Structure 1
Amino acid sequence: MKPVSYLRARSVEEAAAAHGGREEARYLGGGTNLVDLMKLGVERPEVLVDITRLPLGRVEERPDGSVCVGATVRNSDLAAHPLIRERHPLVSQAVLSGASGQLRNMATTGGNLLQRTRCAYFQDLSKPCNKRVPGSGCAAIDGVNHNHAVLGHSPHCVATNPSDLSVALAAVDAVVELTGPGGHRTVPVTEFHRLPGEHPERDTVIRPGELITGVVLPPLPAGAVSRYRKARERASYAFALASVAAVLQVRDGEIRHVGIAFGGLAHRPWRARRAEAALLGARPGTEAFAQAVHAELDAAQPLRDNAYKVSLARDLATQVLDSLTTSA
C-alpha cells in the first residue's frame, strides 16, 4: 500500500499552503472522481488536502445581479436552489442529467469542473494514454472511439470532457474564481478547460496549487430563456454522446442574444461562436437554426466510429433552439 498524508484545511489560505503546488498533492472535495481514479491507480497522490469544511458552500446573489456558487456546494443543492432554478434553469437541468442522486449528494461544484475524462484507455493502466503518461501514445485513435471527440482533438488525444455542468456554465459566460500561491484570479469558463494540443495531460489552465473557490453566473438579458438537453446511450446515469446548452433572447422578432455550447464533442465544452454570430440579428426559425449549427459543425473531424455525433449534435441543437423560440 502507498501511504497518503491527509490534512483537513480550516481556511482557503491553509489549504493552498498545504497543497503548495506539489505534483503529488490533491484537493479532496466530494471525492466522486478522485477516489475512483485512486482505486484504479490512475491517481496516486501522496497528500490529500480536505476542503469540505471550507466556507465555500453557499449560493449567493451579488449586488450586480450575478449569482456566486461556492466551490463546495453539492450538486444536489445547486440543482434545487431557487436562484438557480429561477434565473439559470439550464444549470439545474444540466446537473440533474448527470450521475445518480447519491453521487449528486456528494459531488461538488468545483469538483465537477475538474473531473477527468471517462475515456476507457485513460482509466486502463495497461493501455497507452498521453493524458495519463505523456508521450506513451493514444490508444483511442485507432481503438474503440465511438464516444470520443469530433472537434478540437489532436494526434495526441481524442478524449472528451465529461462534465454536464461545465457546458451549461459555458453557455451563460460564467467565470471561475481561483485562489492559489500566486493570489486570487478569475478565468472565464470558456477558457478554463483546454484543448489537448501537444499536452493532453493538462485538462485546464489551473496553476499548480490553485483552488477553485467559486463560480459566478452573470445575469442573463431580460426575457432570455435557456435549456440543456443531453443524448446518451441509456436513459440515465450515462455521460453525454452529445449535449447542448443554449440561451436565447428574442425581441421584436429578432435574436438579440444567443449563447450555445456543446458537450460530448471535444476536450472541453465547445462554445459555438460561429453559430452564435450567424444567428445574432436573424429571425428565429428552424431553417436559420439548422444553417447556423451546420456552419459550426462543419469544422468537425470525426474518427472512424463517431461520425454520428455530428448529425446528433446538429439535430439536438436545432430542436433545443426551436423549443426556446416557443418559450421566448
Structure 2
Amino acid sequence: MKYKAPYLYFSPHIETILPSLFRKVEGVEYKRERLTTPDNDFLDLDWLHDDNKKLVIVCHGLEGSSDRPYVKGMAKALHNSNFDILAWNYRGCSGEINNNLRFYHSGATDDLELVINHSISLGYHEIFLIGFSLGGNLVLKYCGEKEENIQEQVRKVVAFSVPLDLEAGSNRIAEPSNFIYERRFLNNLIEKVKQKAAIMPDKLSTAHIKKIKTLYDFDNFYTAPIHGFKNASDYYSKCSSINYVTNIKIPTLIINAKNDPFLPAKCYPAELLSKNEMITFEFPERGGHVGFTEFNQDRMYWSEKRALKFILK
C-alpha cells in the first residue's frame, strides 16, 4: 500500500498539525476501567468491547491520551473490523495526576506488561500492539526485551512515527523549525510537574523549571532522576528501541515517513532492521508525524488501513 498525501497538504508541518487539530472521530464511546498498579498507582484503560477474542492495544504518544484523534481513528477502524480495543492512558495522561512520584516515559514497559497481562486474564486469545511515536518506541522496546519469552497471545506489533533513537530525536525537535511542537510539549510537562510538586513538595521541586529550554533539559532535570537514570543521555540510551529491535521475535511493522519533522536520519535504520526477518520497515515519502491523512468515504486514514492489512494478513 503506497501512501499519497492529499494535494493541499504541501508541507510536513501541515501534514502533522492539521490532523491533530481538526480531525474529528465520531462514534467512539469508551468504557473506562481503572487498573491498580503494584505500587498503588493507577492506569486508566478505555475500552471498546464487543466480546471479541481478538484485542488491539493502542499506545499513544508524548503527552497524548486515548482521546487523541489518531488513537480514536485507529480504535474505530479496528473495532469496526471485529476487534475489541483497549486504548490505555499512561500515568498522568487521563486527565488526573497519578498518585506516585514517577510519571510515564519512553521506556516504561513495566506498565505496558501490566496492561497486556491484565488483558490476557480477561480471556483474550490474540493481542496486537499498535504504538504511535513514544508509544511506538514503547511497544518495540517491550517486544525486543521479551524476545522469545513474549506472551504467546501477543501476535503482531505495528509502530508509526517512531523516534527509534531517542537522543537523536530529542536533538531534532530542539531545532528552530520545531519550536512550536517542543514548546507545546514542555508547557504540558512542566504544568504536570507543578501540579505534582504541589501535592508532594517533599519529593518534587519546581526549582529546575526556570532552567528548562528544551525537552532534553526536561528529561535531564526530571524524567531521568525521577525514574532512576543518571541523566538524559543515560535515559535515552537505555530506552531507545533501536537497541532492542533486532531481538524482536514476532511480526512487526514500522512506518516512519521520510518527511517527519520530528525524526532525524538515525530513525530510519534500514540496514539494521533488515537483519531481522520479523520486521517490515516502510518509509513513505510523505505522512508527517502521526499524520497519514486520507480523505475517503469511510473516513479511515491510510495508517489505519495499513495497520489493519498487516494485522489481518
Query: What is the TM-score of this pair, normalised by structure 1?
Result: 0.25
Query: What is the TM-score of this pair, normalised by structure 2?
Result: 0.26
Which structure features the higher share of helix residues?
2
Which structure features the higher share of strand residues?
1
- Larger Cα-atom Rg: 1
Q: Larger relative contact order (C-alpha < 8 A, sep ≥ 6)?
A: 2
